């Protein structure tokens, strides 16, 4: 159905706020719309409203689609349920359309109230179809839970749906149809999408002309705006995740002229985000501010933060993964930068850079500002189990190099009971500098180069330069920090990487013109050497556990005392994400290599598989990972739609990894009877650990800790970047993100990524020939 979110396949589909809406003028009618062109299917969705002062209940919209689009849908409210849904398709030389409504994820039906009027430039030709319409009674409507209103005076997240499968009865406006082939979201500042009463009334009556965009020019092909002069920068940093934010902050601190480009939008309230729970309305809090809302990232009906064109979970918003993860923050041990884990010897002394990171962003294992720990029952029970197995308790980040038979409270980088991370620290100082620029919703397609020399980047934002081109200065540099999937894709689209991937780009009509000549292609192992922690969930019950309603109510109706406490002082249960305890143990495999097992303990469970009854209020999970030392490797690439995806998954390609993980799980569960009342329910006592692991859903093995796709090294035969993080065979292109890390870190990787970024930017600044 329209915009249905199939949660079970989200890791492989995803949806995200990929780009920003902008102003454009339709050349057929002169109407100024604010909207967006989907870069994959090339469908444009636009809206324009009367002045806010008119208190009007209508707008003018349009959908412009290639003829191969069998039907397209738009919902300015951004979600399927209880929202205005507009659907259209061509039927011969006419457009058939309807306003629909759904209260569940089923076929949407006719919506009473909206009045649709087709405007004169609606048409169908041999290449495209266009629906231009007036939608009356379309700004607010009644639902079973109250009145729903479009955010016409603020920022919103409209959605779209697309299908290449025709409807069942093309002549019938209420025809049934199959679920959409694709869907997505985009950010739109509705407060800018207004024109004068006279101009709006002229357009609404079928008149033309007179439109002047009041915001940045469009990214669509229908723009009539003249090109703007591009500003050159010393450094262009692509991607505002932890690597990019730290690089941009330190470069601007050094006096360089820097622009940081982020394809998504804001997140926390401080950065302009507004998407928060209703129970926190008026408290300047978003979903991304409140640590206790972490689990709802994966169950929200409007998950605009996931990258739409990456088929695993990846964050497309300011802060990247550090804005949507559980914020587990581990100070890297020596092994995270040792030659034994693939690093060049010049990286061995990480401590000065880790110290710089710690001074900007300390860790805490007691994140509630009142100093108390909450909801600790699952950690207490797990500790009893581990004590019997010879583990000892430590403050983990005070002893980062001790990772064998140790456990301790989960450690985070929350600040004052709210999400902290690089956005609250490094980005905050960077944006205060006059030599630092930040542009959100700027999607970088490729670097522009002449042989080995990078001259700038091409983006979707023509307000930054002609045709979206941003140049670097004569000695300027580009730093890619788009992540383990995003940075490889940019390289492929720039003619850098294996020939099979660049050939896919060459065969794409939109991307091919931006490729350099084939003689300038650079053959590097981009996308190879990929690692991710294989992870297995074990689910237990114990009478002392408070499963906290499995985190299912924290978004809409958390426990009243807990929400009140959090709103008053940012303390209590909601001041932390779900993990409560972590542990590590070293194992020697049959190949003589040492691998480390990590465990994370949290109340609740993602899924339960058991043939026996159990008390759902008493469940908790131990997620068991393999980290440093794993030998399995995969490959990341792109498909014909330019979607970044694993081509070879990196879990258990070496059977020794699986054997070690099975051994670790057997050890964990061997002493269950030593803890009275403790019961393992997934797997239950009808399923052996070996069978459980062997039959584990491969998609669920994903930990989203991807590293290695642009690995660092000393030879272009085996690595993509050199010891200074410069891409081999280029003069001025660098990568600073998780993709250069050659092997899995010891713990959840964002602390290691941040330490790496501190060291990398120091090396880049010291490298001769720069600005």
Instruction: Please state, in angstroms and rounded to a whole number, the distance separating the CA atoms of residues 469 and 111.
Output: 43
436-450: average pLDDT = 94
Q: Is 705 one of the catalytic residues?
A: yes
Give the Å distances, CA to CA, from 620 to 166, 377, 549, 604, 684. 46, 9, 11, 5, 14
Considering 42, 350, 570, 705, which one is annotated as catalytic? 705
Beta-bridged to residue 597, according to DSSP, are 585, 626
DSSP secondary structure code for residue 193 in this structure = -
Phi, psi at 387, each rounded to 5°: -60, -40
What pLDDT is attached to residue 145? 67
Q: Is the peptide bond before 647 cis (omega within 30 degrees of 0)?
A: no
Map residue 341 onto helix, strand or coil: helix
148-193 residue pLDDT tens: 889 998 888 898 999 999 999 999 999 999 888 888 888 888 988 9
What pLDDT is attached to residue 768? 96
Answer positive or negative: Cα dihedral of 453, 459, 464, 469. positive
What confidence category does residue 5 fall into, taking pLDDT thresholds of 50, 70 and 90? very low
Residue for token pair 């919902």:
75
HEC string of 377-389 equals HHHHHHHHHHHHC
Q: Which helix (H) or strand (E) holds 421?
A: helix 421-424
What is the widest separation between alpha-carbon atoms in the chain? 80
Q: Is the pLDDT of residue 537 over 80?
A: yes
Q: Among residues 711, 709, 744, 695, which one has the least CA distance to residue 597?
A: 744
Q: Say how many Å lie between the first and final Cα of the chain, rounded.
A: 53
What pLDDT is attached to residue 218? 34
**Are the CB atoms for 223 and 44 separated by under 8 Å?**
no
Residue for token pair 């979600």:
79
201-237 residue pLDDT tens: 889 888 876 544 333 333 333 322 333 357 899 999 9
pTM of the model: 0.75
All structural domains of the chain, each given as residue ranges with its CATH number in brackets, are 7-204 (2.60.40.1210), 229-267+305-364+417-529+705-771 (3.50.50.60)
What pLDDT is attached to residue 20? 63
68-124 residue pLDDT tens: 999 999 999 887 778 899 999 999 999 999 999 888 767 888 998 899 999 999 999
638-688 residue pLDDT tens: 999 889 999 999 999 999 999 999 999 999 999 999 999 999 999 998 999
Give the Å distances, CA to CA, from 733 to 232, 274, 477, 526, 727. 16, 35, 6, 14, 6
What pLDDT is attached to residue 229? 53
């Amino acid at each position: 159905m329209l915009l249905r979110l199939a949660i079970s396949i989200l890791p492989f589909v995803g949806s995200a706020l990929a780009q920003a809406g902008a102003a454009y003028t339709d050349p057929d009618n002169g109407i100024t719309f604010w909207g967006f062109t989907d870069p994959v299917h090339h469908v444009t969705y636009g809206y324009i409203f009367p002045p806010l002062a008119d208190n009007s209940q209508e707008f003018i919209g349009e959908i412009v689609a290639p003829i191969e689009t069998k039907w397209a849908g738009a919902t300015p409210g951004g979600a399927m349920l209880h929202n205005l849904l507009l659907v259209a398709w061509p039927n011969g030389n006419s457009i058939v359309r309807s306003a629909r409504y759904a209260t569940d994820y089923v076929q949407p039906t006719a919506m009473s109230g909206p009045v649709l009027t087709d405007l004169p430039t609606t048409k169908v030709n041999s290449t495209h179809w266009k629906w231009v319409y007036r939608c009356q009674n379309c700004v607010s409507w009644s639902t079973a839970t109250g009145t729903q209103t479009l955010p016409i005076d603020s920022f919103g997240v409209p959605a779209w749906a697309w299908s290449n499968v025709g409807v069942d009865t093309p002549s019938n406006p209420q025809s049934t149809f199959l679920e959409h082939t694709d869907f997505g979201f985009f950010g739109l500042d509705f407060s800018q999408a207004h024109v004068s009463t006279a101009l709006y009334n002229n357009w609404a009556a079928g008149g033309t002309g007179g439109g002047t965009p009041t915001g940045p020019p469009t990214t669509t092909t229908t723009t009539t705006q003249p090109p703007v002069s591009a500003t050159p920068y010393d450094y262009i940093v692509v991607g505002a995740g932890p690597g990019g934010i730290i690089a941009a902050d330190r470069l601007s601190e050094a006096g360089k002229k820097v622009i940081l480009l982020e394809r998504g939008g804001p997140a926390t309230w401080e950065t302009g985000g507004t998407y928060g729970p209703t129970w926190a309305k008026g408290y300047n809090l978003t979903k991304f501010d409140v640590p206790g809302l972490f689990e709802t990232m994966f169950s929200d009906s409007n998950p605009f933060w996931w990258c739409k064109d990456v088929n695993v979970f990846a964050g497309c918003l300011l802060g990247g993964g550090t804005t949507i993860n559980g914020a587990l923050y581990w100070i890297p041990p020596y092994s995270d930068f040792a030659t034994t884990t693939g690093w060049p010897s010049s990286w061995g002394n990480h401590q000065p850079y880790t110290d710089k990171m710690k001074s900007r962003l300390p860790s805490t294992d007691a994140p509630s500002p009142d100093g108390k720990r909450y909801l600790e029952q699952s950690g207490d029970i797990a500790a009893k189990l581990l004590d019997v197995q010879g583990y000892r308790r430590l403050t983990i980040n005070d002893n980062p190099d001790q990772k064998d038979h140790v456990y301790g409270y989960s450690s985070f980088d929350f600040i004052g009971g709210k999400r902290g991370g690089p956005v609250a620290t490094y980005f905050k100082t960077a944006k205060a500098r006059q030599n630092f620029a930040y542009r959100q919703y700027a999607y970088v397609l490729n670097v522009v180069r002449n042989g080995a020399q990078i001259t700038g980047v091409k983006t979707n934002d023509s307000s930054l330069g002609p045709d979206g081109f941003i140049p670097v200065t004569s000695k300027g540099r580009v730093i890619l920090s788009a992540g383990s999937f995003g940075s490889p894709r940019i390289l492929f689209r720039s003619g850098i990487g294996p020939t099979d991937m660049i050939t896919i780009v060459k065969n794409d009509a939109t991307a091919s013109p931006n490729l350099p000549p084939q003689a300038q292609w650079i053959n590097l192992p981009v996308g190879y050497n990929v690692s991710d922690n294989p992870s297995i969930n074990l689910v237990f019950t114990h009478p002392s556990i408070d499963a906290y309603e499995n985190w299912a109510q924290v978004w809409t109706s958390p426990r009243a005392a807990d929400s009140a406490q959090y709103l008053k002082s940012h303390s209590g249960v909601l001041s932390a994400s779900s993990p409560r305890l972590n542990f590590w143990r070293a194992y020697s495999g049959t190949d003589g290599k040492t691998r480390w097992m990590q465990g994370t303990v949290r109340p609740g469970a993602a899924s339960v598989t058991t043939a026996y009854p159990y008390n759902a209020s008493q469940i908790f999970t131990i997620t068991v990972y393999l980290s440093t030392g794993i030998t399995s490797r995969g490959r990341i690439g792109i498909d014909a739609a330019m979607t970044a995806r694993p081509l070879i998954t990196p879990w258990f390609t070496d059977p020794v990894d699986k054997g070690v993980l099975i051994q670790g799980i057997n050890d964990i569960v061997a002493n269950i009877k030593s803890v009275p009342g403790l019961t393992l329910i997934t797997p239950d006592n009808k399923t052996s650990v070996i069978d459980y692991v062997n039959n584990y859903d491969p998609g669920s093995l994903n930990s989203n800790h991807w590293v290695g796709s642009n690995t660092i090294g000393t030879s272009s035969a085996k690595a993509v970047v050199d010891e200074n993080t410069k891409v081999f065979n280029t003069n001025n292109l660098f990568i600073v993100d998780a993709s250069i890390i050659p092997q899995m870190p010891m713990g959840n990787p964002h602390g290691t990524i941040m330490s790496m970024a501190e060291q990398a930017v120091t090396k880049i600044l010291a490298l001769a020939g720069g600005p």
